[in-house]
Amino acid sequence: MPENNNEEIRIGVYTCYCGGNISDAVDCEKVRETLEKLPNVVVSRTDMSMCSDAGQAKIEEDIRELGVNRIVVGACAPSLHEQTFRGTVARSGLNPYLYHHVGLREQDSWVHHGNREQATEKAIVLMRAGIAKARLLEQLEPIRLDAQQHALVIGGGVAGLRSALDIARQGIRVTLIEKTPFLGGHMAQLDTVFPTNKPAQADLHDLIEKVLVHPNITVHTNAQLTGMSGYVGDYQAKIQVQARGVYGEIADQEAVLAVCPVEVPDEFNYGLTTRKAIYQTYPESYPPTLAIDWQNCTRCGECAKIASANIDLEGRTETITVNVGAIVVATGFKPYEPRQGEYGYGENPEVITLPQLIRLLALNKTSDQLTYNGRPIKNIGLVHCVGSRHIPGVHEPQADGKVNDYCSRYCCTATLHTANELRQRYPELNIFDVYEDIRTYGRGHEEYYLEASKDKVTFLRFHAQDSPQVVAAPEGEDHPVIIKIHDQNTWGMELEVPVDLVVLSVGMMPNPVDDLIRLLKINAGTDRFLLEVHPKLRPVETAVRGVVLAGTAQGPMNIQESCAAASAAAAKVAVLLRKGVVELEPFVAQVNLDLCNGTGACVEVCPYEDAIALESFEVNGQQVKRAVVTPANCAGCGSCVSACPNRAIDLQGWTLGQYEAMVDAIALDMETLEVSA
């Protein structure tokens, strides 16, 4: 839409009651009456809810009927409804950037509740500053960039697989990379899943099969991201792929495994068993071939003697580059590892974690007697909140000095799910559930607690400040371990519970992804999980345009929640890329080449890679340096504006002139403004 510099400025001002959030503290009618006296203001209105259909209709009508060509709305935070009102303005045929939003709720009413007079005065000041800026608003256009209809998904667990499949079904190509040799993540280690109680691996294999047969998806295992450049719509991703070392189906796989001299703890079974340096996580895993653990392989060559045509011990790596428009980070989690001595872990062999128990039950499906370390289990204790809901000063911090003060969400239901399985498989087992609180998140999850109660699981409750102790039983006792607890269900009675096995229900911690944080320029929260922009308004987006989060990379979730988050991430990618063009906000730096003399001060202070650079130009027959902005890389932070000694740089939509007009409007008293009107 062309700009008419001779156009009369006609401003519409709208003050929202925000359902009482603003009007309870601010006299909105006084604000309206005061603002309608200001120069260029042709209409000033209030409404109980400006963002409602009726409120937006008022704005549209004023644009059409009164010729309003600048809009100022005072309402809740711009992050909530700036886009809403831009859409309102655009529907009326006006450039959507001829609109300014004033956050009266967060900046005024919520912080000045109880002093109506001062809150009203501040609202008037904030709104007249917005009006001053509105007089200088210019028509802007979004930055439009060609977009690669290709997405990169990092992580081959259930969230990464779900996200990749959903994106591919939208007609967008996907490259999925998994750091380990096999797909599936932690879901492959489960026996059944709640709340359906269906076999975990069956559901997982169904998803993997759909991913593998989809023509839009390319999968690389043993692969990780090592380089990233570019911008949303056109990222260049460097991926390092480590050779598996094993190719095709080996006829005598058992013989190959038998001759390997290296045995290491099997991480798939959480150290309950061992595996060889050439291995497969479980028989139905994908890819359906063995892989070589290069970290532990001695390259002795014994396996190659049996299957020389299928085994290559050189361990070569290759680097591939893919151009993608967006990235999904689905890097998953790791179970909390109790510290040495925590509830006897690492000191008493009869103390294990819940993931270990789940694998123990999966490995002994046909047994009618639960045993561990060759000992039959008659009494078992399940301890909640190990590695979750820690309190500073009460619990010992992690290596980085932080405590896991968050709830891991899945642990209570997982513990109760396992308790019910134990009761079904071993009816004579005495089960003691030692908990701080029972938090059964999710539809139907409370049923696990009710079922456990009916099946005579004994519940003992503790306070975090008085956690139970797990100690070795005295010599000669029937049971090797004692749980000492002040049981809050019996008003703090001190109990000693003899058990044969203690199971620690450990929480979730994020996988260490410092390399990805650095490459993608994304952030982690105080809980170390990757951080979204807003937990409700933009729940899967990062601060980096085109980089989204899926599953437990951003926080503790169960499988259902991980899949839902993965589908949300896929929807964001599809909306962004399916048109082949990405639109970005125009609020980026702009250089006036006539004022720029190429000092380079702007380049030095810019925190964003390739956002601004000095380039050579010929002026009057001489080569000179001038600053040039790459809009796709510019975040509009304004660092370059403050550094430029010649005022040669401005931010579109937030120019120095607009700021100065706002400051002047704030500084002038109302009487002066009314006289000038």
Mean pLDDT over 637-655 rounds to 94
User: What tokens appear for 555 in the block?
Assistant: 């926080």
CA of 178: how far to CAs of 174, 181, 550, 552, in Å?
A: 13, 7, 14, 15
Beta carbons within 10 angstroms of residue 530's beta carbon = 25
pTM for this model (two decimals):
0.87
The answer to whether 313 and 334 are in contact (CB under 8 A) is: no
Q: Is 304 helix (H, G, I), strand (E, B) or coil?
A: helix
Q: pLDDT digits over 93-137, tens only?
A: 999 999 999 999 999 999 998 899 999 999 999 999 999 999 999
The answer to whether 184 and 268 are in contact (CB under 8 A) is: no
Domains annotated for the chain, with CATH where assigned, are: 11-141 (3.40.50), 150-242+318-332+513-581 (3.50.50.60), 253-315 (no CATH), 336-509 (3.50.50.60), 589-651 (3.30.70.20)
Q: Which 8-state DSSP code applies to residue 532? A: P
Provide CB contacts within 8 A for 26, sequence distance 6+: 104, 108, 109, 116, 119, 120, 123
Q: Which pLDDT score is estimated for 671? A: 58
The answer to whether 71 and 45 are in contact (CB under 8 A) is: no
Nearest to 269 by CA among 364, 386, 360: 360
Amino acid making up residue 19: G
Q: pLDDT digits over 236-264, tens only?
A: 999 999 999 999 888 889 999 999 999 99
Q: Which pLDDT score is estimated for 476? A: 87
* Residues forming a β-bridge with 395: 392
Cα separation of 227 and 518, whole Å?
Answer: 10
Q: Would you place residue 670 in the very low, low, confident or very high pLDDT band (cuts 50, 70, 90)?
A: low
Q: Would you place residue 194 in the very low, low, confident or very high pLDDT band (cuts 50, 70, 90)?
A: confident
Q: pLDDT digits over 40-93, tens only?
A: 999 999 999 999 999 999 999 999 999 999 999 999 999 889 999 999 999 999
Q: pLDDT digits over 508-517, tens only?
A: 999 999 999 9
Beta carbons within 10 angstroms of residue 451's beta carbon = 16
Provide CB contacts within 8 A for 650, sequence distance 6+: 589, 590, 592, 641, 656, 657
Q: Would you place residue 5 in the very low, low, confident or very high pLDDT band (cuts 50, 70, 90)?
A: low
Q: pLDDT digits over 396-433, tens only?
A: 998 888 999 999 999 999 999 999 999 999 999 999 99
Nearest to 441 by CA among 410, 404, 408: 410
Rg of the chain over CA atoms, in angstroms?
31
* Full 3-state SS string of 64-75: HHCCCCEEEEEE
Cα separation of 578 and 597, whole Å?
Answer: 41
Mean pLDDT over 523-549 rounds to 93
Q: Which pLDDT score is estimated for 2? A: 38
Residue 467 C-alpha from the chain's centroid = 32
Nearest to 165 by CA among 437, 604, 501, 567: 567
Q: Which pLDDT score is estimated for 133? A: 97
User: What tokens appear for 608 in the block?
Assistant: 């964003």
Nearest to 13 by CA among 151, 133, 159: 133
Total residues found in the chain within this entry: 677
Cα-Cα-Cα-Cα dihedral sign, residues 154, 156, 157, 159: positive
The residue ranges of DSSP E strands in 138-212, in sequence order, are: 143-146, 150-154, 173-178, 192-193, 198-199
Give the angle 550-152-513 at the CA atoms, nearest 5°.
60
Cα separation of 481 and 466, whole Å?
Answer: 19
The answer to whether 181 and 291 are in contact (CB under 8 A) is: yes
Nearest to 239 by CA among 292, 179, 181, 184: 179
Cα separation of 426 and 205, whole Å?
Answer: 29
Nearest to 237 by CA among 539, 585, 632, 547: 547
Mean pLDDT of the chain: 93
Cα separation of 591 and 614, whole Å?
Answer: 11
Q: Would you place residue 675 in the very low, low, confident or very high pLDDT band (cuts 50, 70, 90)?
A: very low
CA of 468: how far to CAs of 354, 386, 436, 487, in Å?
A: 17, 11, 10, 9
Q: Which pLDDT score is estimated for 411? A: 95
Beta carbons within 10 angstroms of residue 545's beta carbon = 17
